[in-house]
Amino acid sequence: MVGAGISTPSGIPDFRSPGSGFYSNLQQYDIPYPEAIFELSFFFHNPKPFFSLAKKLYPGNCRPNIIHYFLRLLHDKGQLLRLYTQNIDGLERESGVPASKLVEAHGSFASATCTVCRRTAPGEDFWADVLEDRVPRCSVCSGITKPDIVFFGEPLPERFLLHVVDFPMADLLLILGTSLQVEPFASLSEAVRSSVPRLLMNRDMVEPLAWRPRSKDVVQLGDLVHSVEKLVELLGWTEEMKDLVQRETRKHSGGD
């Protein structure tokens, strides 16, 4: 289970950190309160603030970091049952974690849909408008085209239901870079069997583990990059991690 904290080392602010999070820095947008930027009623009233924010999250503006590549390495080694992410930045996909292993609980910018006729829009058309500061419109009915991310009050993607099968099967739960404050995602931390270790690596303690601790919980607080590097070292994967990061960096820079 991962959240915005795994992407802050890539230059993407989280949402709730006082002073530095998205919600603390939305004064530049014409919104009545921070959460309105992800509310459908406000979006239909004035979609421009959301698309201004979306422009900052354009895929390609930021690259995966060592935390994303650690998750990719778990997959490469056959250790990853599933990666549940709250993030909408797409960096898990970018790192090479296959879509079959991903549950993007709050959706992603990888696709977009017309809010009127429900026609799926090509991603390149959607982003062409956003990058030119235009509100994306459907080519068929001229309705507003919205990326397939989950706004407040919207149902989660159907793939989220995989948790019913995945969590009882897991023999270890990693929780990285999330405050576990948003439901129903947060409750997944309770869904593994009581005998299964839960490893929390986060800047701060989270309420579900603080209020309902289990005997096999392991908590590592502090800088997440440092914590992941330490875990990689303990696993004896440091050289493999370096090779993976170098290989992916060359690929993105056109070296391959």
The letter for the amino acid at 41 is S
Per DSSP, the residues of 133-160 read T---B-TTT-PBEEEEEPPBTSPPPGGG
Residue 207's SS3 state is helix
Using an 8 Å Cβ cutoff, are 68 and 6 in contact? yes
Number of alpha helices (DSSP H) and beta strands (DSSP E) in the chain: 9, 8
Residue 47's SS3 state is coil
Residue corresponding to tokens 């820079």: 253
CA distance 219 to 204: 10
Residue 253's SS3 state is coil
CA distance 105 to 214: 25
Nearest of 170, 10, 198, 11 to residue 103 by alpha carbon: 170
- Catalytic-residue membership of 252: no
Element (H, E) at 228: helix 224-235
CA 109, chain centre distance (Å)? 11
CA distance 23 to 220: 26
Annotated catalytic residue: which of 106, 163, 226, 252? 106
End-to-end CA distance of the chain: give it in Å, rounded: 32
What residues are labeled active site? 106
